[in-house]
Structure formats: structure tokens, C-alpha cells
Amino acid sequence: MAHRHEVIVVGAGGAGLATALYAAREGADVAVVSKLYPTRSHTGAAQGGIGAALGNVEEDHWEWHMFDTVKGGDYLTDQDAAEVFAKEVIEAVIELEHMGLPFDRLPNGKIAQRRFGGHTKDWGKAPVHRAAHAADRTGHMILQTLYQQCVKHNITFYNEFHVTDVIVEDGVAKGLVAYELATGELHLFQAKAIVIASGGFGRIYKVTSNAYTLTGDLQAILYRKGLPLEDMEFYQFHPTGLYPLGILLTEGARGEGGILRNALGERFMERYAPTIKDLAPRDMVSRAMYLEVREGRGVGPKKDHVLLDLTHLPPEVIEKKLPDITEFSRIYLGVDPLKEPVPVMPTAHYAMGGIPTTLWGQVIRDENNTVVPGLYAAGEAACVSLHGANRLGTNSLGDLVVFGRRAGIHAARFAKDADYHELTEEHLRESRERIERIKNSTGKEKVAALRAELQQTMMDNASVFRTGELLAKQVEILKELMDRYRNISIDDKGDAYNTELVEALELGYLLEVSEALVHSALNRTESRGAHAREDYPERDDQNWLKHTLAYKVADGKVTFRYKPVVLGRFEPKARTY
């Protein structure tokens, strides 16, 4: 079946819905193709808030937010992106409020704001109240609010469609191929502009806050096509995942005054970040937690985790401002945060790297910022390099509204003057062959077993702390897993709702993005932000103040090019808090 829309957005999370909404407001005919029903998208799991220098609780300025973003990103953040973001996110929050988003309120009626990791006033002197929140369900509320607006604008939704191919020919994006879960049919989509907003790929790791659907599909599809992925070595682990499940407990808990403690009951962050302690950026807190455990101060029979202590907070703060995480602790661990500390350990959370784009979301193919006409990306799937080497909490929700809006506006304007490209049945062939190959295979390998091996080895060899030796070992493991992947077979040969087939396709994507990550991490011989190499513990601005572009040559073979970091008003300095 064939469909035709001026702008097609892949993904119906916050970035996809923001893109679709603003493109529709520009007058474009817009469709959204999504693996999930839109309000099931992973943006709904974002808890703590959206950071913007509204200054409702205390003095705040966009310049301070920009500074925190650049410093938080360990100076790999492109400063033009940080400036656009820090200014426009203020407008974006007010627009969300006008759309009906139920933010928490201050007694004077203004939007309430809380403290959050790495957000400071007066260039780092003290923590600041910057995160606008709706209890600890902020992402959920953003998703619902944007979806309602999209319905109001008559945007077409193709739900439970899995994109299997992006048609890029002669350097131009022309359309998509998607697999319809309900029927097993392949559909051809013609578009003047395509926006990729398909989210992250945390499922490469065993312990992750990411939903089962976050498998890096579109990053992998473009990477196979010879387009680069940028800064893939930088993957953030969120410090407070419920131990041992990895389910997220918002940083807002520490924003409200929660304290991390080791087995001795010490508030250990005082040693690592004396000024802002538990509200240091995520990469630093995650490393500190691992070090406490490694040095024997972990909690529990295996001494393998630490504790998040909220017991000193007033019960109404915990129940009212943090209702979801309170419920998670009680349901999943049987721990009541009012009465006892909650076991936590870092959980794979967010990809700073992804599909490289301009400030307007246009996908670029090389270090000279050569644009692929008609192709855009926004949100976690993209790398405009707002987050540099480490994202600050709340900046992802801000990112998807600010850069989703920009991508939507630009895509709609581009589509006004562009023509549709001719597509034929021939464009379905590659996807059809891949699906038939998996369905008809009689190989001995099972998807679940391979995926479990991938996730465990990525956790062991390429997570919070890294060494050249472990990364080189992981390169070989990935090569072997890719070989074995060719031998998978599935039991379900049916057409309708063949989730086993979908999982087989997703494992292929997971292997590709893991390859880009591990090769990029082995290649970068320094420590910066979330990329901590124990064999190269120092940041090396002389050689590595630059973005990595990873290109796939063949399985296990990756080449690199580099792109300069856009510097500006903030000179790279040592990062202390």
C-alpha cells in the first residue's frame, strides 16, 4: 500500500509530536508513523521536570542555563545550540502551559520550579530552582498535551507501524517503508520531508530505564546507509535506578532534598562535589556511586548498591511531589521511602549521540555540515550537540520541544517548495527480503539468547567505566554476535501481530548501534563527560575537543571523521562543582 504526505514524522514521543504539531501549524499535511500508540511513547516515563530560566522561585537567567548546559556537557556542547535552547525553552514552557499542561503551581499562581542536578545560579555558585514540573509525571503530561493538540490539528497517525527503511537516493530523502504489525503488510510512504524522532537505544544494556521499544531502529537504518552517527561514545547512566531493576527514580527526589548514602550512612557526594553535592551532574554522581561500591562501601549482602534517603523529608513532600516514584518503590521493592532508604544503582538512560543535525534539525552527512535534503531528526535520536558529553537533567524534555518545533517548522517550509519523488514497488524489495530471510531461516540461534548476551556484555565492557582492553574485547564479541545473528530463526511464521519477527529486526538494530558506540568509545582516548576511560583518566582538549562522526564500512569495520565543537562565550575549563 502507498501513502503520501508532505511531512512524515517517525516516532510519536515528545519530539515527534512537537515536530508534527508545529509542521501542521505551518499548514503542511502531516502524518506520524509510530511503533506504539502515541501516549505509550517513552517520553511518558520522564519524571522530574523541564528546565527553563523562568525565574519564578528565585532570580534566574537564560545565560546561566546556557552556561550550565555547556559545562554539564564537559565543553563538547555546541554553544550555538546551547544558546538557542536556553532562550527558546522559556517560550516553549509557556506555550505548553497555554496548551493546557497542568504544571504544579506556586502560591502566587506561577509555574512551580524545583532544583535539579547541575543547574546553578550565578555561574555555578549554588543550586537554582529551574525545573518546571507536574508532580513527577512531567513527561507524561507533555506527551498527553502535545497529543491532544495533534488530534485537534487533524494529523494522520499510523500506529503500530515499524519503519524498516528510509529511502535515500542521490543524496535526497524520498520516503519510507514500514511494516504494519496488525497485518504483516509492507507500506510505502511518499514524503517531501521526513523527520526522525524515534528515540534512544538503551536496550543495548541489561540494566536500563528505557522501555523495550527503544532499540535504535532509525539510527541503525541510516548508519547502514552510510550516513554517520555523531558522538556515540557518550551514553548517560542515570544515578538513581531502582536496584536491581533499573526503573527510574527521578533526580527530582534529590532536587527535593534526597540524599545518597553508602553502607556507613555517609553522604558520600560531599567528597566528590563539595558545593552542590547530590545535585552534581549525572555522569559524576554515577561514577561516585560505582567508586563507593568498588571501594567496599556498598550496601546489602553483596555490597553492590547504595541508598537514596528521603526519610528526613516531610511526608507530604514525598507523597505530593514524588507520588510515582514512591509508588514504584513500594510496588517493585516493597520499600516505603517514608520509612526507609531506597536501594539504587546507575541505570542506562540517555544517548547524547545520534543522527547529526543542524540547529534546524536538518540531517548532515559529513564534517562540512552537508545537508541531506528533506531529511530531519529531533529528540534523543538526533545529535544537534546540545548535550555534548553529558546531558543535564530536564534538558531532554526541553530539547524535544525546542528542537522538535524547529524541525517541524523547517520541514514544513521545505515541503512547500519541494516535489514528491517517484517511488515504486522496487523500493519495498530490501525490506521484504530481510523479513522473508528471517521467517524462512532454519538457523539454530534464538533472538532472546543473543540479545541477553549483547546486553550483559555491553554492561560488563562498555558502561560507566571503560578501558581500551575491555572495549577491544567487546569489538570482538560484537563481531561474533553479528555473525551468529545471520543464523537466527523464529517460530512464528504468521503475518498478524508477529512480535517475534519485530524483536528479530530490533536485535539487528541493537547490534548496529552497539557497534557504533563501542568503536567510538575505543577510538576516543580521553575521559570526558559520560565517557570515562580508566586508562586515559584526563580530559584532553588538545586532541579531543571535537565531535566524532562514525561511519560503517562493514560489520566490525568503522571509520571516523571529526567535526569541530562550536565554541563561544564559555572557554573550556576544568569541571568542578
Q: Tell me the binding residues for substrate.
A: 238, 250, 349, 391
Contact (Cβ atoms closer than 8 angstroms) between residue 69 and residue 396: no
Contact (Cβ atoms closer than 8 angstroms) between residue 11 and residue 355: no
- Cα angle 274-279-283, degrees, rounded to a multiple of 5: 95
CA 550, CA 232: separation in Å to the nearest integer?
A: 8
Q: For residue 115, indicate whether it is catalytic.
A: no
Nearest CA to 160 out of 16, 339, 40, 289 is that of: 40
Specify the length of the chain in residues: 577
The residues, any chain, with a CB within 8 Å of residue 342's CB and separated by 6 or more, are: 242, 249, 307, 308, 309, 310, 329, 333, 335
How many CB atoms sit inside 10 A of residue 55's CB? 18
Question: Is the peptide bond preceding residue 537 cis, with omega within 30 degrees of 0?
Answer: no
Residue whose entry in the numeric block shows the C-alpha cell 557526594: 269
Residue 58 in 3-state DSSP?
coil
CA 425, CA 186: separation in Å to the nearest integer?
A: 10
Amino acid identity for residue 147 in this structure? Y
The residues, any chain, with a CB within 8 Å of residue 158's CB and separated by 6 or more, are: 3, 31, 32, 33, 34, 178, 180, 187
CA 107, CA 104: separation in Å to the nearest integer?
A: 10
Residue 4 C-alpha cell reads as 503520501
Segment (H or E) for 453: helix 447-461
How many CB atoms sit inside 10 A of residue 508's CB? 20
The residues, any chain, with a CB within 8 Å of residue 222's CB and separated by 6 or more, are: 166, 168, 196, 229, 355, 363
Catalytic residue among 115, 254, 261, 282, which? 282
Contact (Cβ atoms closer than 8 angstroms) between residue 247 and residue 383: no
CA 263, CA 307: separation in Å to the nearest integer?
A: 8
Please give the span between the terminal C-alpha atoms of the chain, in angstroms, as a whole number.
56
Just list the catalytic residues.
282
